[in-house]
Structure 1
Amino acid sequence: MTNDQHGLTLSGTGGSAAGHYDQAIDHLLHFRMEVEDEAGAVLAEAPDSPMGNVLSAYLGLLTTEAEDARQARRSFAAFRARIDHAALLPRERAHVEAVQALLDGDFATCGSQLARITEQHPRDALALAAGHQIDFFVGDARSLRDRIGGALSAWHEDDRHYGHVLGMYAFGLEEAGHYDRSEEVGLRAVELNARDVWGIHAVVHTYEMQGRFGEGIRYLDARVGDWSTGTFFNVHNWWHYALYALEAGDHARALAIYDAVLAAGRSSMELLDAAALLWRLYLEGDIRHERWQALADAWPARVHEPFYAFNDAHAVMSYVGADRIGDADKLIAGREAYLGQALPGVSNHAMTARVGLPVCKALVAFGRGDHQQVVDLLYPIRHRVNEFGGSHAQRDAVQKTLLESALRGGRHDLARVLVSERINVRPCSPFNWLKQGTLAEAIGDSAAATAARLRAGDLMRQASSAFVTGGE
């Protein structure tokens, strides 16, 4: 037996394999693509390494790609068939059980099992990282915060990965609404490790949620060399940059980012970022069918079977944007059949029923111009959209769809409520004031419409000035 870099015992893993395991964890926390090579090197040296097989399985399961999950199931089943489960160390046995729950589609049990591991072994970086991603996939803001916060006291500033733990904690604080603290912790994480793309991402989210778009632009510009290349998180941080451009009213810049970076995405995570950006433009009447077509072509193989409802919604956005409503209807029919099956313990089944399918149907209704149906579908679930995963920033596409349909469908009282909520949370958002202007014009208050649009214009100029003085 040997110990990993954080002092935890590894059975069935010699010194060389343990070195590869340590390097794999480092790559994982940096979101580097080399994590797969190092994980493979662990198993090449020690095929029955419990933690090596656990790591490899997590990598296959956390991509939200159905084919990756199938391969992980086959490999992990073969590993379990070869080993004596009772001979595993308790921590390793708990990880095996957590992985098996995830393989069975039970996000809740996996997350709970990983939480128990963290209680006993707060320096288990893999348990923290995997649990953090599970919390993200199910949209559990409190667990995103407390899973990491509860382990943080076991880590110290001289630990190699202390900054990465802070970066995860910063994101959890942001999703839980503690913006001042999330900024403080996120900035410290990046100070400790300039290439902590998740820590950078947490700071960027904080500025997004506070409407501090100019600061977000300057922050990303100042660190573009640290977050824009060399990881499988590049596209997502570019997506955040494009969101800032949209708020500044610079659609041309957002589309330039799309064409240069997002359009080349191939994974489900990258494809949904591309769809989420184009959908925001679609809501404003900027259809861009030619860009949607490539996205629509990329989704069928990834949503052929039910796997993750959040991905389904973005596939439907792509079909609607490409004017391929038939493809969207086919996906929806497949998910309705899926819900007719009894699948207890399969998290995606409940996510699809409670949020995913209503969102998909609403997106199709929007494409058909049936704004009353959009409101009827989205309004009852608007406070539980988090249940199908993603972040506040990502799920805002759904909230914006509801607002746009309330405006277009003449639901002025509802639109007033929705706009008022947004403005009072983020008075610095040009988008919110533009919608206030649209609503005021619709109810015949031209003075209020003019005032709202002037306010939006001032905020856009403030945000866009960051592009001029930033990293260009």
Structure 2
Amino acid sequence: MRLDAYNLSTSTVSAQAERAFEEAVHGLAAHRANTGIALQAALAADPDHVAGLALKGFANLILARSELIAPAAEALASARRAMARRDGGTRDEQILVHALEAAVDGSFATAAQRLDDGFSERPATFLPFKISHALRFMLGDASGMLAMSTRVMGDWSEDLPAAGFLLGCHAFALEEHGFYDSAEVAGQLAVRLQPDDAWGLHAVSHVYEMRGKTSEGIAWLEDGRKSWSRCNNFSFHMAWHLALLHLETGAHEQVLKIYDEEVRPQQTDDFRDMANAVSLLWRLNQTGVDVGSRWADMAEIALKRRHDTTLVFASLHTLAALVAIGEHSAVRDIVSGLERKATGDGEQAKVAADVGVPLARIIAGLSTAADRRMLDRIVVDLPTIGGSNAQRDFFMLAVAKAAGNSGDSAGLSRIRNVRSRLRAEDRLLGSIEMRAAL
């Protein structure tokens, strides 16, 4: 048994594999572009690196693409075989693989709970905590994120392995609950302890955005640019936050520049990158800004993804892109796909039934009176589609627009009240309300 630099016990006998695996875990923590390369190096040095195989499985699933479910299942099967060859593996490896089994079966909630329970006596073990945090983030389970990070804080000290990264996750969980003072303090300390902690830096940027501290948010992100610009595609998301702050100041040309150079510099197929682009262009449209051919640039990817309902959050962003492009047949494909999804079993089927289908119809302009009567329920259940409050605000605004367009002033007012519990007043909702009043 080896205890790696992040306090995880592994059964590998290869020092080279362990060094590469630790580099991969650090890359995961810091959102570095070399994470996948480091993980490949670990598995090349030791094809039976159980924790590495488990991480490979989770990494495939978190990308939320239908074609990556099979590779995740293959990684799980390889991990099982590797454990069998190593007398069952270490307890830590067993917990990781047991959690991956649930995730491959489609239950991220069960997977996260298995990680949390399995490491309850060592909650600050970074890798299982980070994976659980990521899974709960995709589920919109803010209470679970905070419960687990609070438990970590009970054992936390500055000399722990990954101390800054752990604290950055806690800062984000605090922010998602509206505990902005505590989140700001925790996030700033996390970044001081670990300058590579893009997630902690990200948490503080959320605080400034939600509080309407636009100039402070811009300064914070620009000061941290050296760190987040070295990230993998998470750098696109950080640039998205920067663009939103500039949008609030009315600097539309600056927003378009950030979009072209930093939010969407590549036509990638990652649903998170698409979410950044779609929600930013949609906001620009609502403020009357001509975005040129930028919607059309996403057409090929959106059309390719119209039948993939693996993650409702991703499907809804793809839908919004197709609506903007005017691909009416593809729009109906997504709505129909979500309707079929809603009749199935599993976590995402329930999300589709409770929120995804009515929200999709609203975004597509295909809503019925029954869908519109569900506005209050959609707003209440919206966190279940996953992501952050800042990301889901796009859907909140879309629902507000639908209420305004249908003349539902009472509904629009209720949406404003719910939204105001988390964020300061901003230009965009005012613009939507103004248009509704015309």
TM-score, with structure 2 as normaliser:
0.92
CA pair 243-371 structure 1, distance change in 2 beyond 3 A? farther
**Are 2:267 and 2:298, in contact at CA under 8 Å, matched by a contact in 1?**
no
- Determine the C-alpha separation between the residues in 2 that align with 1:270 and 1:80: 33
What residue is the counterpart of 1:64 in the other structure?
64
What residue is the counterpart of 1:187 in the other structure?
188
What residue is the counterpart of 1:214 in the other structure?
215
- Determine the C-alpha separation between the residues in 1 that align with 2:398 and 2:189: 36
What residue is the counterpart of 1:311 in the other structure?
314
What residue is the counterpart of 1:445 in the other structure?
none
1:226-375 alignment, distance < 5 Å: 226-263=227-264, 264-266=266-268, 267-286=270-289, 288=291, 290-341=293-344, 343=345, 346-365=346-365, 375=372
**Are 1:138 and 1:387, in contact at CA under 8 Å, matched by a contact in 2?**
yes
Alpha-carbon distance, 1:360 to partner = 1.3
- Determine the C-alpha separation between the residues in 2 that align with 1:94 and 1:438: 53
Query: Which stretch shifts more, 377-386 or 22-31?
Result: 377-386
For this pair of structures, how many residues does the alignment match?
435
What residue is the counterpart of 2:427 in the other structure?
430
Alpha-carbon distance, 1:435 to partner = 5.2
CA pair 295-377 structure 1, distance change in 2 beyond 3 A? farther
- Determine the C-alpha separation between the residues in 1 that align with 2:420 and 2:348: 33
**Are 1:372 and 1:409, in contact at CA under 8 Å, matched by a contact in 2?**
no
Query: Which stretch shifts more, 393-402 or 261-270?
Result: 261-270
What residue is the counterpart of 1:410 in the other structure?
407
For the aligned residue pairs, the C-alpha RMSD in angstroms reads: 2.3
CA deviation vs aligned residue, 1:119-170 (integer Å, no higher than 9, x gap): 1322321101100001100101111112122022333212341011111110
**Gaps in structure 2 of 5+ consecutive residues:** none
Secondary structure at the residue paired with 2:158? coil
Secondary structure at the residue paired with 1:393? helix
What residue identity is the alignment partner of 2:157?
Answer: H
- Determine the C-alpha separation between the residues in 2 that align with 1:105 and 1:87: 24
**Gaps in structure 1 of 5+ consecutive residues:** 443-472
- Determine the C-alpha separation between the residues in 1 that align with 2:384 and 2:195: 32
1:453-464 alignment, distance < 5 Å: none
Alpha-carbon distance, 1:400 to partner = 0.8
What residue is the counterpart of 1:132 in the other structure?
133
Alpha-carbon distance, 1:428 to partner = 4.8
Secondary structure at the residue paired with 1:328? helix
- Determine the C-alpha separation between the residues in 2 that align with 1:297 and 1:92: 40
Secondary structure at the residue paired with 1:229? coil
Work out the percentage of aligned pairs sharing the same amino acid.
Answer: 28
- Determine the C-alpha separation between the residues in 2 that align with 1:348 and 1:392: 19
- Determine the C-alpha separation between the residues in 1 that align with 2:267 and 2:132: 25
Given the alignment of the two structures, is residue 199 of structure 1 paired with residue 200 of structure 2, yes or no?
yes
What residue is the counterpart of 1:396 in the other structure?
393
- Determine the C-alpha separation between the residues in 1 that align with 2:305 and 2:257: 26
**Are 2:339 and 2:352, in contact at CA under 8 Å, matched by a contact in 1?**
no
- Determine the C-alpha separation between the residues in 2 that align with 1:378 and 1:413: 11
TM-score, with structure 1 as normaliser:
0.86
What residue identity is the alignment partner of 2:77?
Answer: A
CA pair 270-426 structure 1, distance change in 2 beyond 3 A? closer
Alpha-carbon distance, 1:335 to partner = 2.5
CA deviation vs aligned residue, 1:388-416 (integer Å, no higher than 9, x gap): 10111111111111222222222223323
- Determine the C-alpha separation between the residues in 2 that align with 1:423 and 1:104: 38
Secondary structure at the residue paired with 2:304? coil
**Are 2:172 and 2:183, in contact at CA under 8 Å, matched by a contact in 1?**
yes
- Determine the C-alpha separation between the residues in 1 that align with 2:290 and 2:325: 9
Secondary structure at the residue paired with 2:380? coil
CA pair 425-26 structure 1, distance change in 2 beyond 3 A? closer
Alpha-carbon distance, 1:191 to partner = 1.2
**Are 1:289 and 1:322, in contact at CA under 8 Å, matched by a contact in 2?**
no
What residue identity is the alignment partner of 2:356?
Answer: G
What residue is the counterpart of 1:156 in the other structure?
157
CA pair 422-87 structure 1, distance change in 2 beyond 3 A? closer
Query: Which stretch shifts more, 54-63 or 98-107?
Result: 54-63
CA deviation vs aligned residue, 1:449-468 (integer Å, no higher than 9, x gap): xxxxxxxxxxxxxxxxxxxx
Query: Which stretch shifts more, 331-340 or 186-195?
Result: 331-340
CA deviation vs aligned residue, 1:253-282 (integer Å, no higher than 9, x gap): 212211222232412211111011112223
**Are 2:303 and 2:322, in contact at CA under 8 Å, matched by a contact in 1?**
no
**Are 1:30 and 1:231, in contact at CA under 8 Å, matched by a contact in 2?**
no
